[in-house]
Structure 1
Amino acid sequence: MTDMILRNGRITTLDHTRPDAEAIAIRDGLIEATGANDEIMRLKGDDTDVIDLGGRRVIPGLNDSHTHLIRGGLNYNMELRWEGAPSLADALRMLKEQAARTPAPQWVRVVGGWSEFQFAERRMPSLDEINAAAPDTPVFILHLYGRALLNRAALRVLGINKDTPNPPGGTIEHGARGEPTGLLLATPSALILYSTLAQGPKLPLADQINSTRHFMAELNRLGITSVIDAGGGGQNYPQDYEVVQKLDKDDQLTVRIAYNLFAQTAGEELSNYEHWLTMTEPGAGNAMLRMNGAGENLTWSAADFENFLEPRPDLAPVMEAELEPIIELLAANEWPFRIHATYNETIDRFLTVFERVNGKTPFAARFIIDHAETISERNIERVKALGGGIATQHRMAFQGEYFVDRYGAKAA
């Protein structure tokens, strides 16, 4: 029986033979039929819900081809979101209010989604302003993948002091007297940012479930009904998938999730994938939650980090030697994969490895280059020849000014 009919609307079908319709019938969560009002209304049963759209437009649900729903959902309820804040004054007011209602020992976290160029003041918040807004509650503010601003309360709970050494690929800024200022710099590796954020208190399982449901509701509000989850640093399989697996089991997922497995530990990436091959396979799961393949990190030596505040990093000479056996393993087992790459120079080296492996074991599954902001036309053709694809994001909306400063308007 038809469960629901939407009538008297403008339905975008994406069917080239019939791109528009007046009505749509839904049965068991799937599209049953589209067509004219009278045609679809003939499918109505005694218990069918009928909604009059009043001429409104209906489009298919949107798919986000690169996001981090699983990791982001665990922390969504703890985040303060600055996107849409028209001024820095508004953002600092929001920070002060959030700090006042955040219970100890939780932090206030502003994790991306904003740029100083959205503010009327056209500038970053100062550390003094952050400390004035939140003198006692730890605050972590992520700015792109380039830096993080921590207030004094966060420095205290993290134990960062004048004697704390810089981690590899990162810098802890110090003042004239040697004390840490609260500014962490990715120079060029974002590991300092991820690892610091990961030290914050975690929510208990019940609250992580609630947080993930709120995150999905926000995605639904924006029209997103399915995503590809690209894994992420600190997102370990299978333990960090407990929340989405429980939501799936309880029929509470409102976004379809296809997830990729992200190698976590430098030097152990190949063994990670060898182990996961014994545990799962692409397509494992169901229509709402399934395993999608490998990536977006396949080996840490291949990470080029998209920080336009810093010069383009040159990947280590060992990258090819570490990446190739992983690609060989994935190709032999017909696993789709995706790999993070911002710069054409990085992509060029990746594709040479892919072509070499494909010559021995032709790819039976697709691959994706993630981001690819500076990819050349020649390398686009190489991706196409291998049967791959490119997943682009809106990074330039947040970092475009920095890109122009470093590489010029023509390159942008």
Structure 2
Amino acid sequence: MTATADIIIFNGRVRTMDDSRPEAQAVALAGNRILAVGTDAEIATLAGTSTRRIDAKGGTVMPGFNEAHMHIFGGSVALGELSLFGVKGFDALSAAVTAYAAENPDLPLLVGQSTDYTILSEEERVTRHHLDRIISDRPLLLVAPDRHTGWANTIALKMAGILEGRDVGVGNEIVMGEDGLATGELRETNAMRPVATMSITGGREGLGVGTGGEPDEVTAEERARDIAVLKNGLAYCASLGITSFQNMDGNLYQLEMLQEIEETEGLPVRVRMPFHMKNFMPLSDLTDKAAAWRARFDSDKLRCNFVKLFMDGVTEGETAVFVDDYAHKPGWKGEPLFSAQHFNQVAIEANRLGLPVAVHAIGDGAVRMVLDGYQASIDANGPRDNRNRIEHIEVVHPDDIKRFATTGTVASMQPTHPPGSAGLPLEPYLTFIGRERWPYAFAWKTLVDAGAKIVFATDWPVSPLPPLHCIHDAMTRRAWADDMPDHRLSLDETLAAYTKTSAWVEFMEDRKGMLKPGYYADVVVLSGDIASVESEAIARLNVVLTVCDGRITHEIE
């Protein structure tokens, strides 16, 4: 007896991402699985009296997007905060902050996100004195797009107890002025956290990425508000065609809230969370916590089965780690957050336990340290299918390019991050890394050509989340100079990095990432044919339908 479809999507340009049948016209869904893929005529035979028929109107039908690197709690909170994306100049900054303050008179801390390092100019950095001129009687924190640097006004620094500075640990810095007081610039999480905790959320959204810890005390009202914030962020993901995401910060608090959402109304997006390993944590946490969380959260809707670390910070904040000196600062290479020996121990033990590792590494020095650690794991544990990753890889040393393939390391990169893309300024980045490093910066095509597996994502809320915008940025990236390599991939390679390869890196390539009978019914329908429009027009396409686990999670009538 032939099964009957619950949903049929027809009249589409189906891109299955399945090499055995790359294109089709229609897809049939039954329950939470794909029933069949074929021509309109073939799929029509699977309709019953209760089948929902959806006309794709010639638009692309493809596997749902898998955002391979994002921060759901922080991104969800940021949806309600001031966005300074694209704001330039003191007057525009002042107007935006003043208006936001007037609209939110009861906020304990005013937070402005996506603040360019060069928001004032390419020469002048923000200080507390600039911010005091805008607002001096309410605490204000501006946060850079990469979320590794913040700027606070004087009252915020005083209330946080850091106006006169404080030891904030290796790789973090409260920048001090010649007057012995903080300038207002706060580099990295430990420096920003004393101010961030004054926000309406108490900074809980930053715990998973900052300390890897749990909130001390949360009232029932606060937890309910946090869950509501997460639900809003999850709905936003679904509206963009995202059916899976891989979070890059994690703690038990987030996992338990997501589990409650799944148990009460169902997650509209599949979630993969990490155990966040910090440099002060004992190695035993990998067994006592990371492995235990993996066993507890192990469904295909919510799983916690990898370890995330930070090896360095960011270039613009001078906290990234390079093999050679910063071009503008002789004698300074950056300071890693883990020693080589310590990181090697973590990589070896995590992989021994069957836990993949993902490491934030911006500079080529940090990238090299991570590759060394993965090689140490191979030497200690023997060859294994670890699917370890490096996140960002803003600069790779030419001597390390081939090591991605030889160590089986996945390149997890963000097409929205290269300066000059997605509205980002070129400076101070280009000056800081220096002309000799330009060809090896954001070099995803070089890595792919050398045999590396690659996944794409946005690092939301560091960059805007819409996958179509990210794909547009990947396809339209411009070289910084005429003699620079072209790092663009083909459309098929780019879409694979957002679908089937992202499923593969999760060890879920046997059930998602392709439109194939028996696979999960995770589908997105676009308003046009992504293969026919010019690359410049990709970002103007709309997501008209998102289906996750057979459930319609977003639809434009």
**TM-score (normalised: structure 2):** 0.63
For residue 101 of structure 2, what is the aligned residue in structure 1? 99
Instruction: State the distance in 1 between where 2:273 and 2:31 align.
Output: 24
- Please tell me the root mean square deviation across aligned C-alpha atoms, in Å: 3.2
- Secondary structure in 2 matching 1:281: helix
Deviations 1:52-107 (A, max 9, x none): 2322233322112111114443x335422233558875554443332223253532
- Secondary structure in 1 matching 2:67: strand
For residue 306 of structure 1, what is the aligned residue in structure 2? 314
For residue 280 of structure 2, what is the aligned residue in structure 1? 267
Q: How far did 1:207 drift?
A: 1.4
Query: Structure 2 vs 1, CA of residues 179 and 341 (structure 1 numbering), >3 Å: closer, same or farther?
Result: closer
Q: Say whether residues 1:374 and 2:395 are aligned partners.
A: yes
Structure-to-structure mapping, 1:284-299, within 5 angstroms:
284-297=297-310
For residue 272 of structure 2, what is the aligned residue in structure 1? 258
Q: Say whether residues 1:9 and 2:31 are aligned partners.
A: no
**Letter of the aligned partner of 2:195 in structure 1?**
T
Instruction: State the distance in 2 between where 1:147 and 1:278 align.
Output: 32
Query: Structure 2 vs 1, CA of residues 349 and 39 (structure 1 numbering), >3 Å: closer, same or farther?
Result: same
Instruction: State the distance in 1 between where 2:300 and 2:105 align.
Output: 38
For residue 427 of structure 2, what is the aligned residue in structure 1? 401
Structure-to-structure mapping, 1:217-366, within 5 angstroms:
217-231=235-249, 235=250, 237-264=251-278, 266-277=279-290, 279-281=292-294, 284-297=297-310, 303-310=311-318, 311=326, 312-315=333-336, 319-362=339-382, 363-366=384-387
Query: Structure 2 vs 1, CA of residues 283 and 67 (structure 1 numbering), >3 Å: closer, same or farther?
Result: farther
Query: Structure 2 vs 1, CA of residues 338 and 399 (structure 1 numbering), >3 Å: closer, same or farther?
Result: farther
From 42, 53, 58, the equivalent of 2:61 is 58
For residue 452 of structure 2, what is the aligned residue in structure 1? none
For residue 205 of structure 1, what is the aligned residue in structure 2? 223
Q: Any stretches of 5+ residues in structure 2 without a counterpart?
A: 203-221, 319-325, 327-332, 439-557
- Secondary structure in 2 matching 1:321: helix
CA contact (8 A) 1:216 1:255 kept: yes
Q: Any stretches of 5+ residues in structure 1 without a counterpart?
A: 298-302
Deviations 1:236-266 (A, max 9, x none): x3234222121122234222111111124x4
Moved more, 383-392 or 120-129: 120-129
CA contact (8 A) 1:85 1:119 kept: no
**TM-score (normalised: structure 1):** 0.83
Instruction: State the distance in 2 between where 1:354 and 1:116 align.
Output: 33
For residue 391 of structure 1, what is the aligned residue in structure 2? 412
Moved more, 114-123 or 40-49: 114-123
CA contact (8 A) 1:258 1:292 kept: yes
For residue 32 of structure 2, what is the aligned residue in structure 1? 29
Query: Structure 2 vs 1, CA of residues 248 and 179 (structure 1 numbering), >3 Å: closer, same or farther?
Result: same
For residue 20 of structure 1, what is the aligned residue in structure 2? 23
Query: Structure 2 vs 1, CA of residues 358 and 109 (structure 1 numbering), >3 Å: closer, same or farther?
Result: same
- Secondary structure in 2 matching 1:411: helix
Instruction: State the distance in 2 between where 1:328 and 1:379 align.
Output: 20
Instruction: State the distance in 2 between where 1:165 and 1:283 align.
Output: 38
CA contact (8 A) 1:86 1:118 kept: yes
- Secondary structure in 1 matching 2:82: coil
Instruction: State the distance in 2 between where 1:29 and 1:124 align.
Output: 52
Instruction: State the distance in 2 between where 1:406 and 1:8 align.
Output: 51
CA contact (8 A) 1:282 1:335 kept: no
Query: Structure 2 vs 1, CA of residues 23 and 119 (structure 1 numbering), >3 Å: closer, same or farther?
Result: farther
Q: How far did 1:389 drift?
A: 0.9
**Letter of the aligned partner of 1:288 in structure 2?**
K
Moved more, 282-291 or 387-396: 282-291
Moved more, 200-209 or 307-316: 307-316
CA contact (8 A) 2:271 2:302 kept: yes
Q: Say whether residues 1:148 and 2:150 are aligned partners.
A: yes
Query: Structure 2 vs 1, CA of residues 324 and 117 (structure 1 numbering), >3 Å: closer, same or farther?
Result: closer
Query: Structure 2 vs 1, CA of residues 268 and 98 (structure 1 numbering), >3 Å: closer, same or farther?
Result: same
**Letter of the aligned partner of 1:109 in structure 2?**
V
CA contact (8 A) 2:6 2:50 kept: yes
**Letter of the aligned partner of 1:214 in structure 2?**
N
CA contact (8 A) 1:190 1:305 kept: no
Query: Structure 2 vs 1, CA of residues 34 and 104 (structure 1 numbering), >3 Å: closer, same or farther?
Result: same
- Secondary structure in 1 matching 2:411: strand
Moved more, 240-249 or 129-138: 129-138
Instruction: State the distance in 2 between where 1:110 and 1:39 align.
Output: 53
Instruction: State the distance in 1 between where 2:230 and 2:91 align.
Output: 29
**Letter of the aligned partner of 1:268 in structure 2?**
M
CA contact (8 A) 1:92 1:129 kept: no
Deviations 1:280-326 (A, max 9, x none): 337942121111211134xxxxx22123342431438x712212222
- Secondary structure in 1 matching 2:389: strand
- Secondary structure in 2 matching 1:296: strand
For residue 190 of structure 2, what is the aligned residue in structure 1? 191
Q: How far did 1:368 drift?
A: 0.4
**Letter of the aligned partner of 1:272 in structure 2?**
D
For residue 521 of structure 2, what is the aligned residue in structure 1? none
**Letter of the aligned partner of 2:431 in structure 1?**
D
Q: How far did 1:131 drift?
A: 4.3
For residue 44 of structure 1, what is the aligned residue in structure 2? 47
Instruction: State the distance in 1 between where 2:166 and 2:78 align.
Output: 31
Aligned length: 394
